[in-house]
Structure formats: C-alpha cells, structure tokens
Structure 1
Amino acid sequence: MNRQSQAAVLFLLGAALLHAGTTDLYLRYVKAGLRPLLLAAGAILVVTALATALYERRRSRRPHAGDSAGDHAAEEGHAHEPAEGHGHREPRVSWLLVLPLLALILVAPPALGSYSATRTGTALQEPLAYPALPAEDPLPLSVVDYAGRAVYDHGRTLTGRVVRLTGFVALDHDGTPYLVRMALNCCAADAQPVKVGLTGAIPPVLQPDTWLTVTGTYTPRVVHDPVNDGPIPFLEVTGAKPTATPRDPYDESWNN
C-alpha cells in the first residue's frame, strides 16, 4: 500500500464518518452526545488524506539531484540502489485495514435487541437523585427511570401515577415478557439491557423485538434476573400498542 493508497483509504474512512455523523446512522454505533467528536474525526481524516495526496503529488514533480551537474555519476550511483519505493514496501497485510471501512460503508448493523437482552443481565443501577416528575397523565418515563424509581425508591414517586414506557419486547426462558431498553455508556459495544417485567393487560401474542408503548401503574413486584441476579421491577399494564422503532433505539439516561 503506497502513499496514494493510504490517502485514498483515509479519505474514504473520513467521508464515511462524516456521512454517519450527518445522518442517524451514527446512533447505531455511539451515543448522540458524541456526534461533534465523530464529525471532527471525519473532517480531520479527510483533511489529512488531501494533504497526503497533495504532498505526494508535489514530491513526484520535484526535480532530482541528478538533473544538475554530475548527472552521469548520479545515474551510475543509482544503478546500484533499489528503485524508490521498493526499499521500504509496506506489508500486504495492511490492505486488511480496508475491511472495516467496507463494513462501515456497506453494512449498517441493526440496534441490539432481544437476543442480547436475554443473554445479558440487567444493568440497573441506583440513581443519584430522583428529580420531581411533571404533572402529565399518563407520565412519559424512560425504562431506566421507571426501573430505578421502582426498585431503589420503592415506587414513592410512582404511586398513584399512570406512566407510559416505550421499549422492545424480550421473552425470558419461561415466557415472562420484559420491556427492555439498551443503555449506553458511550457506544453500542458497551450497551447493556435494563428490563421491566410486564403483568396485567398484556397483549395475547408478543413477538420478541417488537417495539411497544405501554401504559400502566407501579406494582411492588420485583424479581431477580436469572443471568446476574439483578433486580427487575414490574409494571401493571393497562394498555399496550405497537410503535415504530425510535430514531435513537438506545437509552442514554443511564449513568448520565
């Protein structure tokens, strides 16, 4: 891989990052707050690629020392030297760097779903505080917020309220339905599920990975995740309806 090829790969990678950052594609990889850094990285790679290509072009046009007096002697000396670019040939394995680029350009991975959720223990952690809730009815909450208040605040701020949650369906090995949202620290690679069990007026047929918006009320029922023994609170469902996959399928309220 010569310098021109390196510049081309850098340019394509930077362009791919800029494309992902200017569309919703980046949400499949990193949390929304990292968008400026992603765009900056893409811009730096593009500028670096253009600078490398320009430098190589100017270097190839630069006159050689043999063009001045003593050309003949220089040519004789060069006859015993390896041709330029052959003495320090980059290993062919460097072309494997193109594979991640092709994956980024050609394949848009789906958001993590029920397969990951049922094989990973709930990542619920105790919130640092419980902000006052607005007087909406039903009250929109994230899965993470509801689960934290239900388990660690024992539902004190939820009692008597009708809440509305949105997440995807995951079924436990015994058929128990969970409403799940994958929580992020920074990127999809560290995504972990937060689960809320569903009871009450549950739809008779539930398909894993179906996105639902459910309304219901707090119930003190809590079970332990069979994967890591973490707490899973429940919601007494009063209504449920399918919904489209949200623009950002991950829950970023965890650890924020």
Structure 2
Amino acid sequence: MSGRPDRTTQHVLLLLLGVVVLFVAGSDRYLDYVRAGFRPLLLGAGVVVVLLAFSGLRGGRGETHGDAGHGHRGPAVGWLLAAPVAVLLVVAPPALGSYTASRQVAAPVAVPDEPPAAGIGADDPGADHATMTLFSYYVWSQAQDTSALDGRRVRLVGFVSPRAAGGWYVTRFDINCCAADATAIRVAVPGGPAEFEPDDWVEVVGTHVPPQVDPAVGYPEPTIDAASVAAVEAPAEPYE
C-alpha cells in the first residue's frame, strides 16, 4: 500500500486550498498577509486553483470508471491532510504582532543621509499634531538634520511591544509585498503607561527626543516623549 494519498484526496486538498484563498481574499483578512494591491492576484490564483481541482476530480472520476477493480486507493489517513486547510476557513492566523517584533535583533533599516522630502507636512485638520507613519518618523528622527521635528507634535499609531529598558515600543511592520518579508519598525516610548499590554493598538501623541541606545539591542532607537496615549481599534490594514 502506498503512503501517498490517492488522486481524489490530492484534488480535494487542492480544492480546499483554492476555497481558502478565495475566502481570505474576499474579506479584509487578506490584509494580514499581503499589501492591499495584491487582492486581484489572490482572487485570480484562487480561481485557477479551484478550476484545476475540479478538472482533476472530473478526470479522476473517468479513470475510476475505466479501471474499476484494478485501481489502488490511497490510505484513508490521507484525508487528515485536509484538516489544517479546512481550519484556515475558521481560524486564520492573525497579523504579525509583538511576539515577532520582539525577536528582531538587527536595526530595521539603514538611515539615509537626508530624509526623502522637506518637512513633515501640515498638522492634521483641526489638530495641533501631524500624523506620521512609524517608518517616516524613524527616518526623520535619525537623520543628520532633525530640525523639521523641532517644536512639532506628532501622532504615531501602532501596537505595543515590550521594551527591556523600560516603557514599551509603539510598533508596526513594514512590508514590501507580504508578511514573509516584514520588518518591525519600533519607536521607543520610555514613559509609556503600564496599563497597555503587548499587541494593544494605541495612538501616541508627543514630541521628538534624540534616539536612545537600549543595551538590549545595541543601536540607537527612535524615541518619542509621549504627551498622551490612547487606545484605538486595530486598523483593517495593519502593515505600513
């Protein structure tokens, strides 16, 4: 008896995989894994996989009728391979969070000599602060000339991750295409309130202070002096 699942089982697994891809791509859950612009590609891939599975199942039915009594069925345990795929329909893995971020040991990105554009933009409408991405704040705060941040209040949005030197980080992952190439961008909040726990999403409004070296990581980290911290809902698109 062969240890491989039979063709029917293989095609059913392929069908389940295609259904999972279509299910995830048809909701906002796909944003936990790839950039927003990848939805059409996921939908197209899901359709192709489902069509291939149906084609294989129809062809397999014809082979079974033509070779009745002469074929060998694969082990029934092969159907257990469908369980992990089926589980994804109910419990999809969440977006990357504080556990992954805390295991990043190298500096996330090289800092250019000059930020990519002059200024950090106007304040948010009706507010006394400017919202910045964590990546933008990271670049500006460690540039040779940080004058654009002088006297400016900025707003950062991300999730809480642990910091060995006290307080915590406001964190977000930057991705090029998908979660597989994600890089954690962290901004230290030394005075971060203890009421917030890892993976809580927060908005931090404060002012720039010089980068601090955390002995646990060994390189200068962008830092913000928080004037206020508030809980916020996790965004539909968690990555920058």
Same-fold call, TM > 0.5? yes
Secondary structure at the counterpart of residue 46 of structure 2? helix
Selected match of 1:246 from 220, 235, 239: 235
The structure with more radius of gyration: 1
Letter in 1 for 2:156: L
Using the TM superposition, give the Cα deviation of residue 147 of structure 1 relative to its aligned residue in structure 2, in angstroms: 0.8
Change (3 A) 1:27 1:179: same
CA distance in 1, matches of 2:35, 2:84: 20
Count of matched residue positions in the alignment of Structure 1 and Structure 2: 229
Is the CA contact 1:124–1:231 (under 8 Å) kept in the aligned structure 2? no
Q: Measured at CA, do residues 206 and 154 of structure 1 come closer, stay the same or move farther in structure 2, by a change above 3 Å? A: farther
- Structure 1 stretch 150-159 or stretch 232-241: which is displaced more? 150-159
Say if 1:186 and 1:107 are closer, same or farther in 2 by CA, change over 3 A. Answer: same
Shift of 1:97: 4.1
- SS of aligned partner of 2:184: strand
Is residue 112 of structure 2 the alignment partner of residue 123 of structure 1? no
Q: How does 1:200-215 map to 2 (within 5 A)?
A: 202-203=192-193, 205-215=195-205
* Cα distance in structure 1, aligned partners of 2:135 and 2:224: 13
State how far apart, in whole Å, the 2-side matches of 1:177 and 1:125 are. Answer: 22
1 CA distance for matches of 2:6 and 2:194?
61
1:36 aligns with 2:40: yes
Q: Are 1:167 and 1:212, in contact at CA under 8 Å, matched by a contact in 2?
A: yes
SS of the aligned residue for 1:208 comes to: coil
Q: How does 1:137-148 map to 2 (within 5 A)?
A: 137=124, 138-148=129-139
TM-score normalised per structure 1:
0.76
Render the CA deviation track for 1:166-201: whole Å, top value 9, x for unaligned: 01112322433211112223332333321111246x
Q: Which of 81, 98, 108 lines up with 1:114 in the alignment? A: 98
CA distance 1:60–1:170, change in 2 (3 Å): closer
Q: AA paired with 2:19?
A: A
Match of 2:184 in 1: 193
**For residues 136 and 91 of structure 2, what CA distance do their matches in structure 1 show?**
33
CA RMSD in angstroms, aligned pairs only? 2.8
Question: Cα–Cα, structure 1 residues 60 and 148, in superposed 2: closer, same or farther, change >3 Å?
Answer: same
Structure 1 unaligned segments of length 5 or more: list them. 65-81, 252-256
- Does the residue aligned with 2:149 lie in a helix, a strand or coil? coil
Matches of 1:225 and 1:148 in 2, distance apart?
21
**Distance (whole Å) between structure 1 residues aligned to residue 201 and residue 22 of structure 2:** 29
SS of the residue 2:142 aligns to = helix
Deviations 1:35-91 (A, max 9, x none): 2222121111111112122323445566x9xxxxxxxxxxxxxxxxx94322xx657
Structure 2 counterpart of 1:141, which letter? M
Q: 1:206 to 1:59 in 2, by over 3 A?
A: closer
In the alignment, structure 2 segments of 5+ residues that lack a partner are none
